[in-house]
Structure 1
């Protein structure tokens, strides 16, 4: 089965297993946090998981751009999801205490607006309004405290890669290149490990007073932190106004990020090299996010050939392993009931392992709930692999959804 067909299977499976109306309201869509769906309406709904679900829908619509009716159907689903997120947030997408959550949604909303322009010739007003509101909130989290960077949440006691990296990428895409440079500079100065070529998690404010701040660095490593930094470096390199020397420096740093991610987050399995994953919950998304930006690196014509090849091998290796380890079922009511994968899925739905090094049947107990995060991660990886088969379109800091 081709990479686009695999991505289609993942898209259909997530739609069938998890999608439903937000609070039962027609014209909306929201991903259930797990399958089977929790019965309580007060169960956590995970704003930022929905943001990555929206990103995956944009990926799928772009993949079907040569089939206008199919692309339009997916685009409408994406807008239903944005309405669902807005409704579930109490009527405002900015009703959130976490700047990283809002930065992820801003990136997805920006791509959706670009998709609207590509497919319909105009952007949706509600989509543009959401983007403007999210950008304004994120800019309030970007302060001079702790030397720069973006706060993690409204308590303003942590600045981390998880918020600063997607914010930097959002600043590039909204033509705020000086803000993007400032945030990237802060990340490199405070959280970059030059030996391992990865980013530590964050800087924690321990105490403040008398004009001084005492901080502690959180040295945990998570795969997703390398992803949006990589995207920001690549897109800033291609942004109007970036000089030749600066562009070469940015692309060189991007190659270092790819090499560091491969060493820190890659691991061998028989016949291929795959990304390490971080279990379920929020961690169930992490390596899908990294794969998205590794695919962007693999397709960039001016990135060093070694980095491009390394990035592509990690994406395709992880996609192949997830596909080989999937579990199939004939209906959404029995995700654990399928047998061995068939050559073609037909109408079956697939459940993917949270760990590409283990088949789904081993990594997930039969009958246990399947989390949305792990399935969106797999879908994102499979879309990234499908994207490697498409020609480079020169997507930089402009308005293209193909990023």
Structure 2
């Protein structure tokens, strides 16, 4: 297998529509990373890197696969909205193959995992796959129902009164943090557990919210377990992705049936604060636009994509103040534009990225490598010959799909 990804064409900023950009990312990630899980037919996993590691002992990143599944659903819903039902059905089939792959790689059960945040992310993705099922077949497939039920039951086990509430990070039960509590709260809203969701969100606001910076600290650690007294230490680190699912949970709980008007207004105000804090803390100026900062590779390679996903939903939420919606939408659109402008394209059918090769820019004929940093071109930030991580490419795909959702509703412009 070739081992280089040198540039052939880079394209210009305006050489494709917003949906075509998302489609290029979808095609590229599937082309470069998709493979069978442990070689088993009917399954799918995203390889952790391209070129694919040869050893079956390559790192296993459960939560990367959950976000890959979310991106597949994004693409499926985009295709369905565009009237391309056959394409949507193929993406749905890939989503179910990926769920089977995750299950297989996890030892036969999706809850064979020590981290509640990992399982919360998969619950969210499985729920959206079930939504795509409903749109195409009228009902969710049984694998989604089974996985969803098992995952939400595990998250309920992690949601306890210890440390005042919230959801534990892992089965060691010594840390409760935003990373687990945010997506768990959103999962509780979506699985019709509004009381649990409200309790988790209340704990987050009480224990981890920084009102001056309008962001969430990472978590609380129990530092004297078994001593007979509860002693905790606040982890003051902040990560961009933590704002995303909390933002979505606040808005979706506000929309939930039975939410009193006063609580709804408070939830929307809190969501507006989260948008403002995310823009200030994680935004930066680039070429006259405010874009989101990214966090390198590894797990950090997903962080900004997660925030962008939920900022796009905030930009479309009619209850949010206009300024908050505009801020959220502009962050997504500008970040997507910068990632697109900094991509490197090549045509694997002609020659696997031999320097100087001329490649077509027709969607589906080339593949793209996206920079992990919107402020730097892929030729600099993801140098040819260096393995490309799945996380950074799923992040770019997620951001471009978020921009496509805004574009479909006339809420963004090509940049």
Q: Report if TM-score (shorter chain) is over 0.5.
A: yes
Instruction: Give the drift of 1:72.
Output: 0.3
SS at match of 1:74: helix
SS at match of 1:273: strand
Aligned pair in 2 of structure 1 residues 339, 262: CA closer, same or farther (>3 Å)? farther
Q: Deviations over 1:124-148 (max 9, x none)?
A: 1111000000010111000000000
Aligned with residue 119 of structure 2, among 102, 107, 118: 102
Residue 160 of structure 2 corresponds to residue 143 of structure 1: yes
Q: Would you say the 8 A contact 1:138–1:167 is kept in 2?
A: yes
Aligned pair in 2 of structure 1 residues 281, 297: CA closer, same or farther (>3 Å)? same
RMSD (CA atoms): 1.6
Q: Would you say the 8 A contact 1:197–1:261 is kept in 2?
A: yes
Aligned with residue 353 of structure 1, among 371, 383, 387: 371
Aligned pair in 2 of structure 1 residues 220, 151: CA closer, same or farther (>3 Å)? same
- How many Å separate the matches in 2 of 1:316 and 1:225? 20
Aligned pair in 2 of structure 1 residues 70, 243: CA closer, same or farther (>3 Å)? same
Residue 172 of structure 2 corresponds to residue 155 of structure 1: yes
Instruction: Give the drift of 1:316.
Output: 0.2
Q: Deviations over 1:57-90 (max 9, x none)?
A: 0000000112111100100000000000000001
- How many Å separate the matches in 1 of 2:226 and 2:91? 52
Unaligned stretches of 5+ in structure 1? 393-403
Residue 48 of structure 2 corresponds to residue 33 of structure 1: yes
- How many Å separate the matches in 2 of 1:197 and 1:148? 21
TM-score (norm 1): 0.95
In structure 1, what is the equivalent of residue 400 of structure 2? Answer: 382
Instruction: Give the drift of 1:286.
Output: 0.2
In structure 2, what is the equivalent of residue 175 of structure 1? Answer: 192
Counting only pairs closer than 5 Å after superposition, residues 105-120 of structure 1 correspond to structure 2 as 105-120=122-137
Q: Would you say the 8 A contact 1:327–1:338 is kept in 2?
A: no
Task: Provide the aligned length of Structure 1 versus Structure 2.
Answer: 392
TM-score (norm 2): 0.92
Aligned with residue 25 of structure 2, among 2, 6, 10: 10
SS at match of 1:159: strand
Residue 40 of structure 2 corresponds to residue 22 of structure 1: no
Aligned pair in 2 of structure 1 residues 272, 337: CA closer, same or farther (>3 Å)? farther
Which structure has more RCO (C-alpha within 8 Å, separation ≥ 6)?
2
SS at match of 1:208: coil
Instruction: Give the drift of 1:272.
Output: 1.6
